[in-house]
Amino acid sequence: QSALTQPASVSGSPGQSITVSCTGTSSDIGTFNHVSWFQQYPGKAPKLMIYDVTNRPSGVSNRFSGSKSGDTAFLTISGLQADDEGDYYCSSYTTNTTVIFGGGTKLTVV
């Protein structure tokens, strides 16, 4: 069971929009809508930003949105801000009743 595939890094300027992809298989993202996205700052625990593909927990900015097409999920951050800089991880439930994470994407706001 390999990790979900994410780009190692993405970058954008303040105010711009960026999209992070997360590619799995028909055994995880392709079958379930249980895809989550986490934001992690250095030395801190991950924070849930998106769950069940499109849902935002209370308190998460509406600049964060999620979507899915086939075996790939996407996280879009609009109106990029300096404090969006960090690492982003996707996760998915699988047909083996396990959870799998992506390798992580480092977002740089330049």
Residue from 62, 82, 83, 97 in contact with another protein (CB under 8 A) = 97
Binding status of residue 104 toward another protein by CB under 8 A: yes
| Nearest one of 33, 106, 107 to 69, comparing CA atoms | 33
Residue from 24, 39, 80, 89 in contact with another protein (CB under 8 A) = 89
Minimum CB distance to another protein, residue 65 (Å) = 17
Residue from 91, 95, 107, 110 in contact with another protein (CB under 8 A) = 91
User: Based on CB atoms, which residue is closest to another protein, 77 or 104?
Assistant: 104
